[in-house]
A and B are shown apart, each in its own frame.
Chain A
């Protein structure tokens, strides 16, 4: 399966909300979202489409409509500036990432 489609960049002012889309997911798979600060290990922030792991801020939320998954960051903060990736099962025991979205806090 080819990479999932994400916008290359999204920006917002502090305290605003932003949404990152991820299109091309299979109807039967659930999307995960990762936050990646350069030079660090990627961090799981959403699993199974909308579940937040323990310790992840409630400002992060996930949803899905049709073959498009979305990550919303509410109350945008400076530390949210990072790259964000969606991740999904691609079928036939393969997985695939989105191309990534760079979030900038203005």
Chain B
């Protein structure tokens, strides 16, 4: 069955970096675009970034552009999110999600359970 497991979350000081991973199984990872989404405490879901199935293109929400980098290793069935210059407001549960279809009609059909990132001094 389709499964995605995030890891790499934890407590980090403001200004530091953290890399999240999302290991996928149960489907052809190299055939799907992948997204990162987060949810801050008490807040709603927030779209962060997407990477194309072959890693040829990436796109980001304006508020993380230049600080976060999405990447993937299709040989390892793994998605990454490199987060630099972290801020207190980046504290959130971070989810990876599989993209099904194409823009503008595609959707996120499977999600991981999420990994908690806490940015605090």
Question: Interface on A for B, CB 8 Å cutoff?
Answer: 3, 26, 28-30, 32, 34, 36, 40-44, 47-48, 53, 83, 85, 87-89, 91-100
Instruction: List 7 A-B residue pairs with CB atoms under 8 Å apart, sorted by A's residue number.
Output: A26-B104, A30-B104, A44-B107, A44-B110, A87-B47, A94-B50, A99-B44
Given contacts A30-B104, A87-B45, 5 further A-B contacts (CB under 8 A): A26-B104, A34-B45, A44-B110, A95-B103, A97-B45
B57 touches A85 (CB 8 A): no
Query: Is B113 a contact partner of A85 (Cβ separation < 8 A)?
Result: no
For residue B96, give the distance in angstroms from its CB to the closest CB of chain A. 10
DSSP majority for the A interface?
A: strand
B100 partner residues in chain A, CB cutoff 8 A: 47
Whether, in the assembled complex, B88 has its beta carbon less than 8 Å from a beta carbon of chain A, the answer is no
Q: Residues 26-65 of chain B: 1 if any A CB is under 8 Å from the residue's CB, otherwise 0?
A: 0000000001010000001111001000000101110000
A28 and chain B: residue at smallest CB distance: B104
Q: Give chain B nearest CB distance to A30 CB in angstroms.
A: 5
- A26 to B105: give the CA distance in the assembly, Å: 11
Chain A's closest residue to B46 (CB) is A97
A53 contact set on B, CB distance < 8 A: 109
CB-CB < 8 A to B103: which residues of A?
29, 89, 93, 95
Shortest C-beta distance, A88 to chain B (Å), equals 8
CB-defined contacts of A94 to chain B, threshold 8 Å: 47, 50, 59-61
